[in-house]
């Protein structure tokens, strides 16, 4: 069980870093939702089903949906403006 938890934590880290790196905002939002989903599984393993339920329904479903609606109504890409450093 502990090995599974370690694997999940590392997958979660990969998802979190990917959410920051992706240029396409839709992919970034999906990666963030993936992080929330794994957080929900970890909460369940830590015997906190209440928090797991809230995280799965709000973090992994509703937030992603609201972000996707917002991206659909705006541009959807992050622009590079790194002229000055």
Partner 1 sequence: MRKIISFILIAIIAAGIFFSLEEIPFGAAKSRVREYYLDNGIKQTGATNIVTSVVVSYRGFDTLGEVTVLFLASIGLSAILYRKKEEKRKKRRKSSLILYTGCRFLFPLILLFGSYIFIHGHLTPGGGFQGGAIVASGFLLIMLGCWGWEGINRNRFKVTESLSGLVFVIVGLLGLFYGGYFLLNYLPKGIPNQLFSAGIIPIIYIAIGFKVGSEIAGIINDMVRSG
Residues that bind partner 1 (CB under 8 A): 49-50, 53-54, 57-58, 61-62, 65-66, 69-70, 73, 84-85
DSSP label at 22? -
Q: Which is nearer to partner 1, 22 or 44 (CB)?
A: 44
- Closest approach of partner 1 to the CB of residue 18, in Å: 20
Angle, helices 63-73 vs 25-45, to 10°: value is 180
Rounded to a whole number of angstroms, the minimum distance from the CB of residue 35 to partner 1 is 18
65, two tokens: 């949906």
Burial 7-46 (b: 16+ CB within 10 A, else e): eeeeebeebbebbeebeebeebbbbbbbbbbbbbbbbeee
- Looking at the Cβ atoms of 79 and 82, the one nearer to partner 1 is 82
Query: Least distance in Å: CB of 52 to partner 1?
Result: 8
Q: Which residue number, 27 or 57, has a Cβ lying nearer to partner 1? A: 57
């Amino acid at each position: 069980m502990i090995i599974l938890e370690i694997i999940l934590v590392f997958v979660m880290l990969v998802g979190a870093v990917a959410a920051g790196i992706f240029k396409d905002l839709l992919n970034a939002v999906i990666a963030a939702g993936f992080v929330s989903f794994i957080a929900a599984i970890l909460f369940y393993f830590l015997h906190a089903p209440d928090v797991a339920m809230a995280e799965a329904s709000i973090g992994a479903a509703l937030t992603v949906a609201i972000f996707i609606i917002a991206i659909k109504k705006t541009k959807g890409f992050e622009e590079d403006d790194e002229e000055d450093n």
